[in-house]
Protein backbone atom coordinates (compact mmCIF):
# COMPACT_ATOMS: atom_id res chain seq x y z
CA UNK A 1 0.00 0.00 0.00
CA UNK A 2 1.43 3.35 -0.94
CA UNK A 3 1.25 6.14 1.61
CA UNK A 4 0.17 9.68 0.87
CA UNK A 5 1.51 12.80 2.44
CA UNK A 6 0.11 16.30 2.61
CA UNK A 7 2.16 18.56 0.38
CA UNK A 8 4.12 21.05 2.47
CA UNK A 9 4.03 24.64 1.24
CA UNK A 10 7.73 25.07 1.89
CA UNK A 11 10.46 22.42 2.13
CA UNK A 12 10.70 22.86 5.88
CA UNK A 13 6.98 23.50 6.38
CA UNK A 14 5.38 21.99 9.40
CA UNK A 15 1.93 20.53 9.77
CA UNK A 16 0.48 24.02 10.29
CA UNK A 17 1.62 25.07 6.82
CA UNK A 18 0.48 21.76 5.40
CA UNK A 19 -3.01 22.42 6.74
CA UNK A 20 -3.48 25.19 4.22
CA UNK A 21 -2.37 22.95 1.36
CA UNK A 22 -4.40 19.97 2.53
CA UNK A 23 -7.59 21.84 3.18
CA UNK A 24 -7.58 23.90 -0.01
CA UNK A 25 -9.31 22.64 -3.11
CA UNK A 26 -7.11 19.86 -4.51
CA UNK A 27 -7.53 17.26 -1.79
CA UNK A 28 -4.02 17.86 -0.53
CA UNK A 29 -2.53 14.43 -1.05
CA UNK A 30 0.29 13.41 -3.31
CA UNK A 31 1.45 9.90 -3.90
CA UNK A 32 4.63 9.04 -2.10
CA UNK A 33 7.17 7.16 -4.14
CA UNK A 34 9.63 6.79 -1.30
CA UNK A 35 10.33 3.16 -0.43
CA UNK A 36 9.25 1.97 3.00
CA UNK A 37 11.94 2.65 5.61
CA UNK A 38 13.71 -0.15 7.39
CA UNK A 39 12.40 -1.02 10.84
CA UNK A 40 15.36 0.82 12.44
CA UNK A 41 14.70 3.94 10.38
CA UNK A 42 10.99 3.69 11.06
CA UNK A 43 11.57 3.47 14.82
CA UNK A 44 13.69 6.63 14.68
CA UNK A 45 11.12 8.40 12.52
CA UNK A 46 8.31 7.51 14.91
CA UNK A 47 10.13 8.76 17.99
CA UNK A 48 8.42 11.62 19.75
CA UNK A 49 9.05 15.00 18.15
CA UNK A 50 10.86 17.71 20.12
CA UNK A 51 8.55 19.34 22.65
CA UNK A 52 8.56 22.62 20.70
CA UNK A 53 7.18 20.71 17.68
CA UNK A 54 3.97 19.88 19.54
CA UNK A 55 1.33 22.50 20.19
CA UNK A 56 -1.07 21.97 23.04
CA UNK A 57 -4.07 24.01 24.05
CA UNK A 58 -4.44 25.44 27.56
CA UNK A 59 -6.66 22.40 28.23
CA UNK A 60 -3.79 20.03 27.40
CA UNK A 61 -5.09 18.91 24.01
CA UNK A 62 -2.53 18.31 21.26
CA UNK A 63 -3.63 20.63 18.47
CA UNK A 64 -0.45 20.79 16.37
CA UNK A 65 2.40 18.41 15.57
CA UNK A 66 5.13 19.85 13.38
CA UNK A 67 6.09 16.74 11.44
CA UNK A 68 5.02 15.77 7.93
CA UNK A 69 1.52 14.30 8.11
CA UNK A 70 1.26 10.74 6.83
CA UNK A 71 -1.87 8.83 5.87
CA UNK A 72 -3.31 7.00 2.92
CA UNK A 73 -5.88 8.83 0.85
CA UNK A 74 -8.55 6.45 2.17
CA UNK A 75 -7.53 7.03 5.82
CA UNK A 76 -7.57 10.79 5.32
CA UNK A 77 -11.00 10.72 3.67
CA UNK A 78 -12.47 8.49 6.37
CA UNK A 79 -11.02 10.62 9.16
CA UNK A 80 -12.33 13.80 7.58
CA UNK A 81 -15.82 12.36 7.04
CA UNK A 82 -15.99 10.87 10.55
CA UNK A 83 -15.04 14.26 11.97
CA UNK A 84 -17.57 16.06 9.79
CA UNK A 85 -20.33 13.69 10.92
CA UNK A 86 -19.40 14.25 14.58
CA UNK A 87 -19.35 18.03 14.10
CA UNK A 88 -22.71 18.05 12.33
CA UNK A 89 -24.23 16.04 15.18
CA UNK A 90 -22.90 18.55 17.74
CA UNK A 91 -24.09 21.58 15.75
CA UNK A 92 -22.69 25.07 15.87
CA UNK A 93 -19.53 26.49 14.37
CA UNK A 94 -17.25 23.63 13.30
CA UNK A 95 -14.15 25.75 13.97
CA UNK A 96 -15.04 25.78 17.67
CA UNK A 97 -15.40 21.98 17.67
CA UNK A 98 -11.84 21.14 16.56
CA UNK A 99 -10.36 21.08 20.05
CA UNK A 100 -13.28 19.21 21.68
CA UNK A 101 -13.10 16.54 18.97
CA UNK A 102 -9.32 16.19 19.30
CA UNK A 103 -9.74 15.96 23.08
CA UNK A 104 -12.23 13.15 22.66
CA UNK A 105 -9.85 11.28 20.34
CA UNK A 106 -6.92 11.76 22.71
CA UNK A 107 -8.81 10.75 25.86
CA UNK A 108 -8.63 7.02 25.18
CA UNK A 109 -11.42 6.98 22.59
CA UNK A 110 -11.91 3.58 20.99
CA UNK A 111 -10.32 2.90 17.62
CA UNK A 112 -12.38 4.30 14.76
CA UNK A 113 -12.21 5.88 11.33
CA UNK A 114 -11.18 9.29 12.68
CA UNK A 115 -7.95 7.70 13.95
CA UNK A 116 -7.34 5.25 11.09
CA UNK A 117 -9.00 2.42 13.06
CA UNK A 118 -6.40 2.68 15.82
CA UNK A 119 -6.40 4.53 19.12
CA UNK A 120 -4.63 7.87 19.36
CA UNK A 121 -1.80 6.31 21.37
CA UNK A 122 -1.23 3.62 18.75
CA UNK A 123 -0.68 6.17 15.98
CA UNK A 124 2.80 7.30 14.96
CA UNK A 125 3.55 11.00 15.37
CA UNK A 126 3.16 11.45 11.60
CA UNK A 127 -0.24 9.74 11.71
CA UNK A 128 -1.33 11.91 14.64
CA UNK A 129 -0.35 14.95 12.57
CA UNK A 130 -2.46 13.59 9.69
CA UNK A 131 -5.47 13.17 12.00
CA UNK A 132 -5.12 16.80 13.07
CA UNK A 133 -4.94 17.85 9.40
CA UNK A 134 -8.11 15.87 8.62
CA UNK A 135 -9.96 17.30 11.63
CA UNK A 136 -9.07 20.85 10.62
CA UNK A 137 -10.07 20.13 7.02
CA UNK A 138 -13.46 18.88 8.20
CA UNK A 139 -13.96 22.05 10.23
CA UNK A 140 -13.16 24.13 7.13
CA UNK A 141 -15.55 22.16 4.90
CA UNK A 142 -12.71 20.37 3.13
CA UNK A 143 -14.37 16.96 2.89
Query: Chunked in runs of 10, what are the mean pLDDT values of the chain (143 residues)?
Result: 37 33 38 38 50 87 96 97 97 97 95 97 97 98 92
Does some domain include residue 44? no
Instruction: Say how far apart CA 105 and CA 119 lie, in whole Å.
Output: 8
pLDDT given at position 25: 37
Alpha helices in 1-143 (DSSP H): 15-23, 39-45, 73-90, 98-106, 125-139
pLDDT given at position 108: 83
Instruction: Say how far apart CA 68 and CA 31 lie, in whole Å.
Output: 14
Does some domain include residue 46? no
Handedness of CA 120, 69, 73, 134 (dihedral sign): positive
pLDDT given at position 69: 97
Instruction: Say how far apart CA 96 and CA 122 lie, in whole Å.
Output: 26
pTM of the complete model: 0.67
pLDDT given at position 51: 64
Does some domain include residue 59? yes
Residue 15 is part of which domain span?
A: 4-34+53-139
Does some domain include residue 105? yes
Amino acid sequence: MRGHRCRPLVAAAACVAALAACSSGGGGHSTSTTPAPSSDAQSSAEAAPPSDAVGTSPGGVTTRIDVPAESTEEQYAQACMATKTWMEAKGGDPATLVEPFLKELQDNAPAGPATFNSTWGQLSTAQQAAVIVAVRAAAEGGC
